[in-house]
Amino acid sequence: MTQKPTHFPVLKKEVCQHWLNSPTGFYIDCTFGQGGHSKALLNLLSPAASLLGIDIDPDCSEDGLQLSQEDSRFRFQNLNYSSLYNYWVKQKLPKASGVLFDLGFSTAQLQDPKRSFSYNSSSSSLELRYGLDGKSVYEILNEYSEHKLNWIFKHYGNLREYKELTQAILRERKKEPITSIEQLKAILTNNKVFQKNRYNKNQIKLLFQALRIEANNELENLRHTLEKVKEILEVGGKLLIITFQSLEDELIEDWKRKYSYSIKIPDIGETIPPLFQLHPDSPILPSREEIELNWASRSSKLWVFTKLRE
């Protein structure tokens, strides 16, 4: 097996504490990665339990297949979690005792130059995709219309100068295609508007965030999957979601408002009870000790929902 950088699964102790619902249950890890959370849960499960790990990233298959050979309770599928429900139905899988989403990317993905997830990457490519589907960042920057670029920079990056950024990209791609990270960064650093507004590393980070979200259709895939997960979970089952940025938090908050509150129907005088409960009643944050050990965990939040009824 190819040696990969050491990856520390965030909030591992807290995830296992809340994910473990039944020692004999069926569990799903929707973002297997290098298997840190899955391996930790398997250590707590009985021989009668089972765990399905899925990941859109084909590079995770090696770790997934290795674990399936080491532990018969585990199976792996290279799959976008937006296709989880169809797979669950087709395979006639049981209701799940717990489902986990870790929305961060792994150390291996971050350090893989062919992925260019880091704006400090030495990669000459503009990729930013987890899997093989979707659009590459090259396509987004060189083929998207002015309107579409404005929209993703505004809504996915919260970039104040999104219009100026779009215009700078349009001017550059008229001269030649935008093909590299360095070329993209130069558009920012060489532009007087961005220099005047101190276009710093955080804003470059937000630009890459916007491009990554669009390339992978991240928010729409998550929104779609959460609508289906409520059917996959058994009553009493746990839904765990680890978020890392405000757009993910907003999506989870919207989902919570939709399914974690009673709905009154005035015309017939009835109240529909909530489908889920957030417990604890606020997201769980990493400890100071974990942040010191793993700086990447500093922005993580663990949301734990329990399904209350069918």
Query: Annotated binding site for S-adenosyl-L-methionine, which residues?
Result: 35-37, 55, 81, 102, 109
Residue showing tokens 């792994």: 106
Per the CB < 8 A criterion, the answer to whether 276 and 252 are in contact is no
Instruction: Give the residue among 66, 1, 12 at the shortest CA–CA distance from 290.
Output: 12
Beta bridge partners of 284: 302
Beta bridge partners of 90: none
Binding-site residue positions: 35-37, 55, 81, 102, 109
Per the CB < 8 A criterion, the answer to whether 151 and 145 are in contact is no
Instruction: Give the residue among 100, 49, 92 at the shortest CA–CA distance from 74.
Output: 49
Beta bridge partners of 302: 242, 284
**Phi and psi torsions of 237, nearest 5°:** -70, 155
